[in-house]
A and B are shown apart, each in its own frame.
Chain A
Amino acid sequence: MRRDYAILVGLLAAVFLLPAFDRNIYHLQIVAVVGLFYIAALGLNLLMGYAGQVSLGQASFMGVGAYVSMILTHKRGYLQQWLGGGFETAVAWLSGQSWAPGGLARGLAGAGAVLVGGADRLNQFAIGHLYIAPLIAAAVAGLIALGVGAVGLKLRGHYLAMATLGMGIIIVKVFEAEQTLTGGRSGVYGIPKLWIFGPPADPSNYKLFLYYLIWALAGVLVIFAIHLVHSRLGRALRAIHSDELAAAASGVPVMRLKLLVFVIGAVYASLAGSIYAHLDGFIDPPMFGFMESVTLLIMVTVGGAGSIWGALLGVALLHTLPQVLTWAKDYEMAVFGLILIVAMIVAPKGLAGLLDRAWRAVWKPRP
């Protein structure tokens, strides 16, 4: 735990000092996005490394974060339009039915108007208080995770992987198909900037502001994760990972704990996704698709599941590789596949495991 804190302090110091030496937006954006994906990967890492479960839909939680935050803060008012359109269709259908009394249709229209008005006020409030949107989004993602986790964690085995696979594809399908709510497949442009303390006098430093915001959030979430892992709960989780039956026999509420970790992971991803939406002001459904979920899985695996820092190594590696290997795009896919296989065979604990072994070999812990 002390080592984790030391690493965190060193890391944050390096990241926070970097802009003093290098104001290049290109570099800062890469480091910022690494921070975002680290948050999402850390959530997945808790699930995989400590609860021994795979999620194939982590990117879709990022999507929930991004889309809910976008819907709440976009000045075009997607939620009002969607609700309004839905009620209009329903009312039109109902008034065409002979069995329905006219009052029913009118009542529905009234209820629709109230809801649309509420949505509008929520929209205005979120535009005025931008910090609220990522929090609501995280709550939505947590609720979805609760439902899906309850289905997928009921039994032992691959059921969570199956459930999250289906969930991820359905969520992205909703982003695509509900055009009035989400902007559809062409994506949404013009998501407001996330000045959570209100816009400053000089708005040209937005990227720098988000850079600090992202890493500050990452710091907080890492501290939370460190404490989670080293708490009673963390020990119980590790017990589950090594022997589920024995853990259950010792009175560990196996399913509830797994569900808790899954929900925490979803909230992490959602927060990252929300900020991601406000970073460049553009999102589209494929950014949160199945392949992105697989990429997050690769990041955690290559970095090392079960280590707080493994996910960071994995994210940093997978984000900088495409930038460095611009000449090898055609081979990129084959190389990624190969890395994944080799990593799983040679170093099932990932880069973090390798480093840890090297560390122990060089630096003998004092008794």
Chain B
Amino acid sequence: MDFLLESLPQCLINGLTRGSIYALIAIGFTIVYNSTDAINFAQGEFSMLGGMIAVSLAGAVAGLGLVLPTWVYVPFAALAVMAVASAFELGAINPARKAAPVNLVIITIGGSILLKGIAMLIWGKDDLMLAPFSAARTIRLGPVGFELQSVWVWAATLIAVVLLHLFFRRTIAGKALRACAQDRTAGALMGIDAGRMTLIAFALAGAIGALAGVIVTPLIYVNYFSGTLIGLKGFCASVLGGMGSIPGAVVGGLAIGVLEQLFGTYLSTGYMDAFAFVVMLAVLLVRPSGLLGEPEGDRA
């Protein structure tokens, strides 16, 4: 019992960091899902690319003899991945927009493999690293210790959620996206160009993914296949929260992160990796619409 009480705060803190990463990825899944009804399996690769691009930028800047704080690279990486995601939408998703959602899912799987393959050709197969956002590394509060980078992760997640909220509530594009998510046909009747909405959604998902990629690289490094597992966990998070709901994605991500930590610390580390997927199956069984999703009455 003592062990439980002593280690609980540490668990929650670590779970929060992990969960924030999953939440950012889950938001990316949600945005694309809302505009296309497809699961974008390349979302994890968007964040891998973000990390890779930041590493390259840092290398180039270091080559000039300069040292800049790592957070400077976030907007550049986000822009670059936005461009990649837009290109992916224009080149692969848009031409197949009339196809069944099943075919779109397969295209995104193809995109994920393609991006991994290209990343391997450009950046090789080794783990690459990036300096933390701030020089001081660890913070200690009594028995609890965590990396300063974790604070950056939480802050970035919070800021991203707030910005997204403003975007969806205050801008025309955001409102149009929401309208499309609710009813695409009605949106089209109101003069919303669904194709453009999909493009915007992919660009946004790319930017969010890149943000996640850059902030976690100082903690977990990056290699060409490091996006896959995080992507799948983020997907679990978005199912748990309810496909299509951004608050749900955040709640789902944090929940998966914390639950994983608790499961690993108090039960078994052997099955810790699979735990998120067990949670996902349980959600599908009990409440397929997720924690915060609107129940879809479509019984087969």
User: Could you tell me the distance between the alpha carbons of A247 and B109 in the complex, rounded to whole angstroms?
Assistant: 30
Q: In this assembly, does A362 line the interface, its C-beta being within 8 Å of a C-beta of chain B?
A: no
In chain B, positions 88-129 with a C-beta closer than 8 Å to chain A are 91-92, 95-96, 99-103, 105-107, 109-118, 120-121
Q: In this assembly, does A337 line the interface, its C-beta being within 8 Å of a C-beta of chain B?
A: yes
Inter-subunit contact B300/A254 (CB<8 Å): yes
Q: Which of B95, B101, B232, B278 contacts A158 (CB 8 A)?
A: B101
CB A338 to nearest CB in B, in angstroms, measures 6
Encoded as 1 (CB less than 8 Å from any B CB) or 0, chain A from 111 to 134 comes to 000000000000000000000000
Given the contacts A54-B106, A337-B114, A173 and B271 also touching, CB distance less than 8 Å: yes
Encoded as 1 (CB less than 8 Å from any A CB) or 0, chain B from 248 to 286 comes to 000000000000000000000011011001101100110
CB B25 to nearest CB in A, in angstroms, measures 15
Q: Interface residue tally of chain B, by bracket?
A: 35 or more
Q: Once A and B bind, how many residue pairs between them come within 8 Å at the CB atom? A: 136
Q: Which of A52, A154, A165, A254 contacts B288 (CB 8 A)?
A: A154
CB B88 to nearest CB in A, in angstroms, measures 9
CB A94 to nearest CB in B, in angstroms, measures 20
Q: Which of B95, B118, B273, B280 contacts A345 (CB 8 A)?
A: B95
Q: In this assembly, does B140 line the interface, its C-beta being within 8 Å of a C-beta of chain A?
A: no
Encoded as 1 (CB less than 8 Å from any B CB) or 0, chain A from 136 to 167 comes to 00000000000010011111111101110111
In chain A, positions 314-352 with a C-beta closer than 8 Å to chain B are 330-341, 344-345, 348
Inter-subunit contact A48/B102 (CB<8 Å): yes
User: Could you tell me the distance between the alpha carbons of A336 and B111 in the complex, rounded to whole angstroms?
Assistant: 10
Q: In this assembly, does B296 line the interface, its C-beta being within 8 Å of a C-beta of chain A?
A: yes
Inter-subunit contact B120/A333 (CB<8 Å): yes
In chain B, positions 48-99 with a C-beta closer than 8 Å to chain A are 91-92, 95-96, 99
User: Could you tell me the distance between the alpha carbons of A48 and B118 in the complex, rounded to whole angstroms?
Assistant: 29
Encoded as 1 (CB less than 8 Å from any B CB) or 0, chain A from 296 to 308 comes to 0110010000000
Q: In this assembly, does A258 line the interface, its C-beta being within 8 Å of a C-beta of chain B?
A: yes
On chain A, the residues within 8 Å of B298 by CB distance are 155-157
Inter-subunit contact A166/B277 (CB<8 Å): yes
Q: Which of A53, A151, A244, A338 contacts B281 (CB 8 A)?
A: A151
Inter-subunit contact B114/A156 (CB<8 Å): no
Inter-subunit contact A340/B109 (CB<8 Å): yes
On chain A, the residues within 8 Å of B96 by CB distance are 344-345, 348
Inter-subunit contact A337/B113 (CB<8 Å): yes
Closest to A153 in B: B300
Q: In this assembly, does B31 line the interface, its C-beta being within 8 Å of a C-beta of chain A?
A: no
Q: In this assembly, does B214 line the interface, its C-beta being within 8 Å of a C-beta of chain A?
A: no
Q: In this assembly, does B299 line the interface, its C-beta being within 8 Å of a C-beta of chain A?
A: yes
Encoded as 1 (CB less than 8 Å from any A CB) or 0, chain B from 177 to 203 comes to 000000000000000000000000000
User: Could you tell me the distance between the alpha carbons of A299 and B142 in the complex, rounded to whole angstroms?
Assistant: 55
User: Could you tell me the distance between the alpha carbons of A188 and B112 in the complex, rounded to whole angstroms?
Assistant: 31
Q: In this assembly, does B222 line the interface, its C-beta being within 8 Å of a C-beta of chain A?
A: no
Encoded as 1 (CB less than 8 Å from any A CB) or 0, chain B from 140 to 161 comes to 0000000000000000000000
Closest to A248 in B: B300
On chain A, the residues within 8 Å of B300 by CB distance are 153-156, 244, 248, 254-255, 258
Given the contacts A155-B296, A155-B300, A166-B280, A337 and B112 also touching, CB distance less than 8 Å: yes
Given A48-B102, A331-B117, A345-B107, 17 other A-B residues pairs in contact with their CB atoms under 8 A: A151-B285, A157-B101, A159-B284, A159-B288, A163-B281, A166-B280, A167-B277, A170-B278, A173-B273, A254-B300, A298-B110, A330-B121, A333-B116, A336-B110, A337-B115, A339-B110, A348-B96
A–B Cβ pairs within 8 angstroms, 30 of them: A54-B106, A156-B298, A158-B105, A158-B243, A166-B277, A166-B278, A167-B281, A169-B274, A169-B277, A170-B274, A173-B271, A177-B270, A255-B300, A297-B106, A298-B106, A330-B121, A333-B117, A334-B118, A336-B117, A337-B113, A337-B116, A338-B110, A340-B114, A341-B91, A341-B111, A341-B114, A344-B96, A344-B107, A345-B96, A348-B96
8 tightest CB-CB pairs across the interface, nearest first? Answer: A337-B114, A334-B117, A340-B110, A333-B117, A337-B113, A173-B274, A166-B277, A341-B110
